[in-house]
Amino acid sequence: MQHAGSRSFSLVRLTSYAYLALIGVFAIFPFYWMLINSLKAPNEVFAIPPTYFPSEVSFDSYTNLFASNSMFPRNMLNSFIVATSTAVLATLIATMAGYSFSKFRFPGNRPISYSLFLTQMFPVAAILVPLFIIFQRLGLYNTLGALILAGMAFSVPVAIWLMIGFFDAIPSELIDAALIDGASQIGVLFRIILPISVNGIVATTMYIFISAWSELLFAVTFTSSRELATLPVALSNFTGQYGTDWTGMMAASVLTALPVAIIFLSLQRFFVEGITSGAVKN
């Protein structure tokens, strides 16, 4: 009896590991396929049946992206400028607001922080038209500034939420002690809170960097010239410009995905907490 039980248990275990392996392949294979096709010679992509490994590894698609007539380096720079500015400015604003929400009692604290939290569910497409018109009237249409402003509006709330999490973990006694010693509220922020929270601030900045780096909808709507195209916009135009240059498209995809993957894997624990905090801890 006991024997039969343990056998069926190990069968369950075996099936579940096999299932997990299947899901693992499902999750990983597309990345493998992107990488491997970026290293194929252009014609090999169209081989029938498709090859699982390039018969000859070629880096041409990468060197072509950095050829003198290529816009790709420019696109990369644009994305870097937009993502960095959005991340730094949003984190700065969110640090101030998060400190305020976390360490002060004032009328409106709860309702304001709550409505900011709800903006992460806001349908972005619904304000494209007015934002487009506003940016055009302010002369911001077709500038990277428009992308930074619009991106900030939607990353500040997320960043505030993350910063509140970090600040809440700092014991109030620490602040009270400093206040008794004669420090000002602002002094406390700069001398005590910020130095303790450096890791959290860096992680928040990276979190926003990734989302701004990937942003497409604002970028296709608020910029039109090729010189200002960010990586996602340039990628979405790739087919039109070069026919179906699949190796080039895959190489560009790899280079767009790489910073995201590196940042994510190095800050994994923080990201997992960031993703789950809203859903589980409330």
Q: Shortest distance, CB of residue 156 to another protein, whole angstroms?
A: 5
Give the nearer residue to another protein in terms of CB position, either 74 or 153.
153
**Of 47, 87, 120, residue with least CA distance to 210:** 87
**Of 72 and 101, which CB lies nearer to another protein in the complex structure?**
101
The Cα 88–Cα 111 span in angstroms is: 26
Phi, psi dihedrals of residue 223, rounded to the nearest 5°: -125, 150
Select 63 or 136, whichever has its Cβ closest to another protein: 136
Minimum gap (Å) between residue 69 Cβ and another protein = 22
Q: Give 31 or 66: the residue with its C-beta nearer to another protein.
A: 31
Q: How many angstroms separate the Cα of 133 from the Cα of each of 45, 166, 185, 230?
A: 43, 38, 41, 21
Contact between residue 197 and residue 170 where contact means Cβ atoms under 8 Å apart: yes
Query: Measured from the CB of residue 122, what is the shortest distance to another protein in angstroms?
Result: 6
Distance in Å, CB of 37 to another protein, minimum? 6
CA distance 223 to 219: 6
Q: Which is nearer to another protein, 121 or 180 (CB)?
A: 121
Q: How far is the CB of 177 from another protein (least distance, A)?
A: 19
